[in-house]
Amino acid sequence: MRRAKCSDAATIARALRIAFAEFEHLYTPAAFAATCPGSEEIEQRIREGPVWIALRDEGIIGTVSADARGRTLYIRGMAVVPGARGLGWAGVLLDQIECYARAAGFPMLELRTTPFLTTAIALYERAGFRRTDTGPPDHFGTPTFTMTKNLENRAMPTTKSHFSLVAETAPPEPEIAHQHFISKLELETDPSDVHFDMERGANGFVVVDARSVEAYARRHIPGAINLPSRSINAESAAVLPKDKVVVTYCWGPGCNASTKAAARLSKLGFRVKELIGGIEYWEKEGYAVEGTQPPDERLHG
């Protein structure tokens, strides 16, 4: 199960046609066309709101989408292909929608169906949907009715669900993930690694404090060179050795001066890494600092 991408639109459209083919004779032509839209409309739905697909052997076996209509989340385009029915996928798709609705704060789910989709109606009723008198009685000449489910003051079902907020966006293939994380390590280091190297006298890098002169004077990492990010140019960076890695830092996660400094220094030909967490997390690790500010005073303010 994953969120659909625009490139999935044609396959989703084909899955809808396969799922509803046996009922086509019960729809008017216009209603069937609306129930099984083409790839262009499916792609528009993907751009407008969430669309999920269930996969087996890399093929789409089910789909559902949602459309926010005020405080109600409207369910549309739900289907499971015949070869995958009876395996619980329809319930998984409904769980997916309900979890999304609850996480987004929608108090109501709504859908429209037709009287001849008896298996689907039974599923909706088991899931807590109830018929209402609201909504149009037909859709392009095919009879319909509306079903809703109130999510307020109602706990999620205790039955095991396949839905996962963690896995909603699928992780990449291992090779892609490996390259991503290696790239992060190429560009970042952390306080523990820098302190470890300093303690054992490693001299393959220099540390640059990218904050202001005043902030550096109050407190900085021992041995750090102060180069405020906005002042970095070929002249000011001449104090740095080109044969060593430059490690930049600033206040902490809420500060990007170290990123700006790293960008400028790398453009000047330096090999650069950024110290994640900045001086804030350096101190949280309990490592020593230098400067005019007493160590027991707060770093900020």
What pTM was computed for the model?
0.53
Per-residue model confidence (pLDDT) at position 299: 76
Task: Verify that 148 and 179 share a domain, yes or no.
Answer: no
Q: At what angle do helices 39-48 and 9-20 cross, to 10 degrees?
A: 110
Cα distances (Å, whole numbers) of residue 241 to 144, 244, 269: 75, 6, 11
**48-81 residue pLDDT tens:** 889 999 998 878 999 999 999 999 999 999 999 9
Task: Verify that 90 and 235 share a domain, yes or no.
Answer: no
CATH number reported for the structural domain that contains residue 257 in this entry: 3.40.250.10
**Mean pLDDT, residues 138-144 taken together:** 94
Per-residue model confidence (pLDDT) at position 49: 85
**Mean pLDDT, residues 274-280 taken together:** 97
Nearest to 246 by CA among 273, 212, 214, 219: 273
Task: Verify that 243 and 100 share a domain, yes or no.
Answer: no
Task: Verify that 21 and 83 share a domain, yes or no.
Answer: yes
Task: Verify that 116 and 6 share a domain, yes or no.
Answer: yes
What's phi and psi for 270, nearest 5 deg?
Answer: -85, 150
Q: Report the C-alpha gap between 210 and 224 in whole angstroms.
A: 10
Per-residue model confidence (pLDDT) at position 158: 46
Task: Verify that 215 and 75 share a domain, yes or no.
Answer: no
In a domain, 292, yes or no: no
**202-220 residue pLDDT tens:** 999 999 999 999 999 999 9
Name, in order, each residue with C-beta under 8 angstroms of 63's C-beta and a sequence gap of 6 or more.
4, 12, 15, 16, 51, 52, 53, 54, 77, 78, 79, 93
Whether 159 shows a pLDDT value over 50: the answer reads: no
- Residue 147 token pair: 């079903």
In a domain, 33, yes or no: yes
Task: Verify that 149 and 190 share a domain, yes or no.
Answer: no
**279-300 residue pLDDT tens:** 999 999 999 999 999 877 877 6
Query: CB–CB of 37/21 below 8 Å?
Result: no
- Domain residue limits at 124: 2-156
In a domain, 121, yes or no: yes
- What secondary structure does DSSP assign to 191-205, as a single string? HHHHHHHHHTT--SE
> Given 156, 190, 215, which residue is the final one in a domain?
156
- The percent of residues in the chain predicted with pLDDT above 70, rounded, is 94
How many distinct structural domains can be found in the chain? 2
Per-residue model confidence (pLDDT) at position 162: 56
Cα distances (Å, whole numbers) of residue 88 to 3, 91, 113: 19, 5, 19
Which stretch of 51-55, 65-69, 165-169, 229-233 has the lowest confidence by average pLDDT?
165-169
Mean pLDDT of the residues in the chain: 91
In a domain, 141, yes or no: yes
> Given 106, 126, 156, which residue is the final one in a domain?
156
In a domain, 161, yes or no: no
Task: Verify that 41 and 104 share a domain, yes or no.
Answer: yes
In a domain, 248, yes or no: yes
Q: Report the C-alpha gap between 68 and 46 in whole angstroms.
A: 13
Task: Verify that 122 and 7 share a domain, yes or no.
Answer: yes
Task: Verify that 28 and 142 share a domain, yes or no.
Answer: yes
CATH number reported for the structural domain that contains residue 47 in this entry: 3.40.630.30
- Residue 37 token pair: 């839209």
In a domain, 223, yes or no: yes
Per-residue model confidence (pLDDT) at position 56: 86
Task: Verify that 194 and 247 share a domain, yes or no.
Answer: yes
Q: Report the C-alpha gap between 15 and 145 in whole angstroms.
A: 24
Whether 127 shows a pLDDT value over 50: the answer reads: yes
Nearest to 63 by CA among 47, 50, 79, 75: 79
> Given 95, 123, 156, which residue is the final one in a domain?
156
Task: Verify that 149 and 197 share a domain, yes or no.
Answer: no
Tell me the β-bridge partners of 206. 246
In a domain, 169, yes or no: no
Nearest to 198 by CA among 298, 291, 275, 294: 275
Q: Sorting pLDDT into bands at 50, 70 and 90, what band is 118?
A: very high
